[in-house]
């Protein structure tokens, strides 16, 4: 029997999208959305595993409404066998704990040998959902992985984890959850025919189920502080050094 590999994906605002604070409780986000960069790395890593082990079954899951569907269509375009959407629009704005509980609840139905996800989502950088899913599933978790070898016969996985100054190699039995770091795989651009196929693909939807009460509550949004005006030194070097020192003393930065 082949490996079962599940990949968690999320649709996030494009890095060039304009985001403004509309109110303390709401953001105004330009309609430019993409599959999270690190999740695409996880998708490609799953596809690479299937190249080495052709009988591997690939599944992608995303929590939420329409935007989750868009992320799953990207997974189909890249070559994932099957995709499922968990929950609906309310999960788009839910906190990480609720999202993780919903994904884990569905993953228990599939009992995958390996769960892959990006090391963090490209919009909030929390890096929370992956580890939380692993805790709900009661399986090991390795983060920031840059290399991965899976041994289905031995029921093991060996991962290289990025740490300061080098790579830390770890080995674990299956099942396991791995979060992808840049370098684990190079996502390919889907061909047009696959993109068109993905746009017509039927996306299966499943209820989110009941999760724990949220432990984190969003208090509100506020824009970053306004930058103070910049004062340019008028003199040429090295005279501008003395001018700079004088300005710093005037501001009380230097005594």
Does some domain include residue 213?
no
189-248 confidence digits (pLDDT tens): 999 999 998 999 889 899 887 666 666 677 788 888 888 888 888 888 888 898 889 888
CB 161 within 8 A of CB 183: no
CATH number of domain containing 105: 3.40.50.620
SS3 211: coil
CA–CA gap between residue 127 and residue 96 (Å, rounded):
9
Over residues 46-99, the pLDDT tens digits come to 999 999 999 999 999 999 988 889 899 999 999 998 999 999 888 877 888 889
Which domain range does residue 20 map to?
4-206
Query: Based on the domain organization, do 233 and 162 belong to the same domain?
Result: no
Phi, psi of 47 (to 5 degrees): -65, -35
The verdict on residue 238 lying in a domain is: yes
Residues 174 and 237 in one domain: no
State whether 71 and 160 are in the same domain.
yes
Residue at 155 is within a domain:
yes
* pTM for this predicted structure: 0.82
- Let me know whether 154 and 245 are in one domain: no
């Amino acid at each position: 029997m082949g490996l079962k590999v599940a990949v968690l994906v999320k649709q996030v605002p494009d890095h060039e999208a304009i985001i403004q604070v509309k109110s303390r409780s709401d953001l105004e986000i330009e309609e430019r959305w993409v599959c999270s960069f690190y999740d695409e790395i996880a998708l490609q890593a799953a596809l690479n595993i299937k190249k080495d082990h052709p009988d591997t079954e690939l599944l992608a899951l995303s929590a939420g409404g329409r935007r989750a569907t868009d992320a799953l269509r990207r997974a189909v375009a890249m070559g994932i066998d099957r995709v499922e959407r968990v929950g609906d629009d309310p999960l788009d704005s839910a906190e990480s704990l609720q999202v993780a509980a919903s994904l884990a609840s569905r993953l228990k139905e599939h009992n995958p040998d390996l769960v892959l996800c990006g090391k963090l989502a490209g919009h909030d950088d929390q890096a929370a959902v992956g580890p939380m899913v692993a805790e709900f599933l009661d399986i090991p978790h390795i983060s920031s992985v840059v290399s991965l070898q899976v041994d289905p016969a031995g029921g093991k996985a060996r991962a290289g984890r990025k740490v300061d100054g080098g790579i830390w190699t770890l080995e674990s039995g299956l099942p396991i959850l791995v979060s992808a770091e840049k370098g684990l795989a190079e996502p390919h651009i889907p061909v047009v025919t696959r993109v068109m196929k993905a746009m017509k693909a039927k996306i299966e939807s499943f209820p989110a189920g009941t999760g724990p009460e949220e432990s984190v509550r969003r208090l509100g949004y506020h824009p970053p502080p306004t930058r103070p005006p910049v004062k340019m030194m008028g003199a040429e070097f090295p005279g501008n050094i003395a001018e700079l020192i004088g300005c710093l003393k005037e501001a009380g930065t230097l005594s």
